[in-house]
Amino acid sequence: VLEGKIGAQASEVVQVLVEKKLKPKQSHDFQLYDRIMKWTDGLGRLKIRANADLPDQAAQALAFGAQGIGLCRTEHMFFEKSRIGIVRQMILAGDAEGRRRAIEKLLPMQREDFTGIFRVMGGRPVTIRLLDPPLHEFLPSKNEDIDEVAHGLGVPPAQVRERNEALRETNPMLGHRGCRVGITYPEIYEMQARAILESASELRRQRLSVSPEIKIPLVGHVQELRTVKAMIDRVAAEVRKETGIRLAYLVGTMIELPRAAVTAGEIAEEAEFFSFGTNDLTQTVFGFSRDDAVGFLPYYVDHKILPENPFVTLDLPGVGALIELAVERGRATRRGIKLGICGEHGGEPKSVAFCDRIGLDYVSCSPFRVPIARLAAAHAALDRKRGRA
């Protein structure tokens, strides 16, 4: 522990690429980095995308060499200060009409969010995931916060408490979240789909290229995806009618539940792409809670019960086997289905090598891990060619 503020600065690579404080010529470290990155160009087969939720993160990802966005988590846009009040109004509304009235106020804001990201990415693929977390995450839980929020919204604190109570779940990660919220409260996904499609259509009207990919979280049964996809296609038809713009877009799904992996053949009848959510998939295959496993996983690894933390390095015999099964079944139904991974493993070298070996199209990781993923993808391709993988 050091007392006081420690002088710190970003690495020179970041200073050149992101902060633009240094010119490439001024940094020896950057030149070394750049030389290694250039060696990787053209070697790897895997494309490298980034998980980015905001335009500035997308710009960072591009600076590190990302070729698209594999996961834009839209819930982060809901938590923003100017919006959380509207989201809470929506959750507190007693019926669909009230929810719709509240959520419509978010439409222009979401449209702006997506426009920002599409502009930065300039025609590269952008995969936007519709809302995923359980709704209670947007409500305050502490007593003093409940009073303050209720006051701000002009509702009695008892109403917020009641709603909180109604939404409380024993196992929220296995509860009312992902597409389950989108199906039971369709107005949320309708608004998000409209925001994506209107924003992309407007950019097309300006003759800019856009490649939107709409991703549905936590699908476990094909009928869930079918229901949400039909809704998105209906909204798309409305937007086409209103704007006169014919827009190309993809609808696909996260594969992050064992049932989705096993029934990937059926799911691929609806899904134009699969994106393996290996955080949730690891959680549900092991039956480990992501949040609670930190209590015993270090012991497991120290005592060699598990070779590695499966939330860090993909568990190939278990989670990996399910992914391979899903790839095989998904391709059997839809030969050219686009396949990627967007869990934390997407930036971990051994997991990247596995993704290369089973023929995924891309890995997606946080912007700062993109260089590691590029290097890992190049190593994996070289090893494969030399027959080492």
Q: Select 178 or 212, whichever has its Cβ closest to ligand PEP.
A: 178
Q: Which is nearer to Mg ion, 203 or 260 (CB)?
A: 260
| Contact call for residue 73 and ligand PEP (CB under 6 A) | yes
Choice from 187, 190, 270, 280 touching Mg ion (CB under 5 A): 280
71 binds, among ligand PEP, Mg ion, none (CB under 5 to 8 A by kind): ligand PEP
By the rule CB under 6 A, 40 interacts with ligand PEP = no
**Which one of 182, 277, 310, 347 is in contact with Mg ion (CB under 5 A)?**
277
Binding flag, residue 277, ligand PEP (CB under 6 A): yes
Position 202 contacts ligand PEP (CB under 6 A): no
Cβ proximity to ligand PEP, 30 vs 311, nearer residue: 311
Binding flags for ligand PEP, 139-178, as an x/- string (CB under 6 A): ----------------------------------------
Which stretch, 7-15, 84-92, 166-174, 278-286, contacts Mg ion (CB under 5 A)? 278-286
341 to 370, contacts with ligand PEP by CB under 6 A? 342-343
72 lies in the site for ligand PEP, by CB under 6 A: no
Residue 344 is a binding residue for Mg ion (CB under 5 A): no
Which of the choices ligand PEP, Mg ion, none does residue 202 contact, using the CB cut-off of 5 to 8 A by kind?
Answer: none
SS3 string of the chain? CCCCCCCCCCCHHHHHHCCCCCCHHHCHHHHHHHHHHHHHCCCCCCEEEEECCCHHHHHHHHHCCCCCEEEEECHHHHCCHHHHHHHHHHHHCCCHHHHHHHHHCCHHHHHHHHHHHHHHHCCCEEEEECCCCCHHHHCCCCHHHHHHHHHHHCCCHHHHHHHHHHHCCCCHHHCCCCHHHHHHCHHHHHHHHHHHHHHHHHHHHCCCCCEEEEEECCCCCHHHHHHHHHHHHHHHHHHHHHHCCCCCCEEEEEECCHHHHHCHHHHCCCCCEEEECHHHHHHHHHCCCCCCHHHCHHHHHHCCCCCCCCCCCCCHHHHHHHHHHHHHHHHHHCCCCEEEECCHHHHCHHHHHHHHHCCCCEEEECHHHHHHHHHHHHHHHHHHHCCCC
Q: Which residues between 79 and 118 bind Mg ion (CB under 5 A)?
A: none
Select the residue interacting with ligand PEP from 256, 266, 270, 315 (CB under 6 A): 256
Q: How far is the CB of 343 from ligand PEP (least distance, A)?
A: 3
Please give the residue ranges that form the binding site for ligand PEP (CB under 6 A).
Answer: 71, 73, 132, 256, 277-280, 342-343
